[in-house]
Amino acid sequence: MEHAISASPRTHANAKSAAINAKAVRKHFGGRTILNDVSLDFRPGETVAILGPSGGGKSTFLRCLNGLCHFDEGEVRVGSRTLLARGRTAGHELEQVRRSFGMIFQDFQLFPHRTVLANVTEAPVRVLGEGRRSANERAHELLRRVGLQDHAEKYPHQLSGGQKQRVAIARALAMKPQGLLCDEITSALDPELKAEVLKTLEDLKREGLTLLMVTHEIGFARRAADRVVVLCDGKILEDGTPREVLDSPTSPRMREFLQCVLG
């Protein structure tokens, strides 16, 4: 399997990772309560696996943390920035929050008509105003770190799913984020490609990046997460260490869910 992340100095993250504090977040869609008073604190550098049954509110919650989705009540603090309910967040606060936590999705969302290199340099040049030369240099370094140094001139359609997802990770890192919000980013991948991407994330974890991962990878959660949070019907069902939550869950609903996932 192609993979080569070296223990090179940190080039992707700001000096300090940010904490995220969600306080009493409520979200409704068409009269239905999707997030019901969710309060969660994430420490800088923490890797948290967010699990739970389909429709439980995991993606919605992650999107609320990044300001991609408005919530109706509550507050979210990301480092020194605050997201307010009902979209009342000031524009510059929202921009800073989005910069500090990159979001990665299941379907990669790469620009199809741009090379790998251009995908990675686009935002640093356009949004951060970084010079083309320096952006290119950093992009090559990031591609090397996700094991794609030989693919810079390719287009997304010439890559495997696992490679595309690693480009998406490099692209998010190019914005020098303090953490990554990952929404089921390995769900569409074959087992071997899944392993490549999870390995990349484990390397980033070791380097201190805050990682919040919505995932169905129980093995990854057990191995790499500091903490497992379970969201079900818009509420926190479990919150603890992987051993606590996965080996001795307190709620019958969680035991049922684990039985389904583990088969």
Ligand X SMILES: Nc1ncnc2c1ncn2[C@@H]1O[C@H](COP(=O)(O)OP(=O)(O)OP(=O)(O)O)[C@@H](O)[C@H]1O
**260: how many CB neighbours lie within 10 A of its CB?**
8
Question: Cα 220–45–106 angle (5° rounding)?
Answer: 45
Q: Which is nearer to ligand X, 34 or 143 (CB)?
A: 34
CA dihedral 111, 2, 133, 124 (to 10 degrees): 40
**Least gap, CB of 101 to ligand X (angstroms):** 17
Q: Which is nearer to ligand X, 59 or 210 (CB)?
A: 59
29 binds, among ligand X, Mg ion, none (CB under 5 to 8 A by kind): ligand X
Report helix angle 161-173 to 191-206, nearest 10.
20
Site residues (vs Mg ion, CB under 5 A)? 59
Which of 135, 147, 121 has the alpha carbon at shortest distance from 1? 147
58 is a site residue for ligand X (CB under 6 A): yes
177 binds, among ligand X, Mg ion, none (CB under 5 to 8 A by kind): none
Overall residue count recorded for the chain in this entry: 263
242 is a site residue for ligand X (CB under 6 A): no
Q: Which stretch binds ligand X (CB under 6 A): 55-63, 91-99, 132-140, 170-178?
A: 55-63
Which of 14, 56, 50 has the alpha carbon at shortest distance from 35? 56
On whether the CB atoms of residues 183 and 61 are closer than 8 A, the answer is no
55 is a site residue for ligand X (CB under 6 A): yes
**Least gap, CB of 132 to ligand X (angstroms):** 37
56 binds, among Mg ion, ligand X, none (CB under 5 to 8 A by kind): ligand X
60 is a site residue for ligand X (CB under 6 A): yes
Q: Which is nearer to ligand X, 174 or 189 (CB)?
A: 189
Q: Which stretch binds ligand X (CB under 6 A): 48-56, 131-139, 148-156, 255-263?
A: 48-56
CA 19 to each of CA 47, 122, 178, 210: distance values in angstroms, whole numbers, following the listed order: 12, 27, 9, 8
| Member of 1, 7, 54, 252 binding ligand X (CB under 6 A) | 54
Pick out residues in 10-29 that bind ligand X (CB under 6 A): 29
Q: Is 170 exposed, middle or buried (0-12, 13-18, 19+ CB in 10 A)?
A: buried
**Least gap, CB of 78 to Mg ion (angstroms):** 20
**200 dihedral zone (left: phi>0; alpha: psi -120 to 50; beta):** alpha
User: SS3 for 182?
Assistant: strand
Q: Which is nearer to ligand X, 56 or 74 (CB)?
A: 56
213 is a site residue for ligand X (CB under 6 A): no
Q: Which stretch binds ligand X (CB under 6 A): 56-64, 71-79, 118-126, 201-209?
A: 56-64
List residues binding ligand X (CB under 6 A).
29-30, 34, 52, 54-60
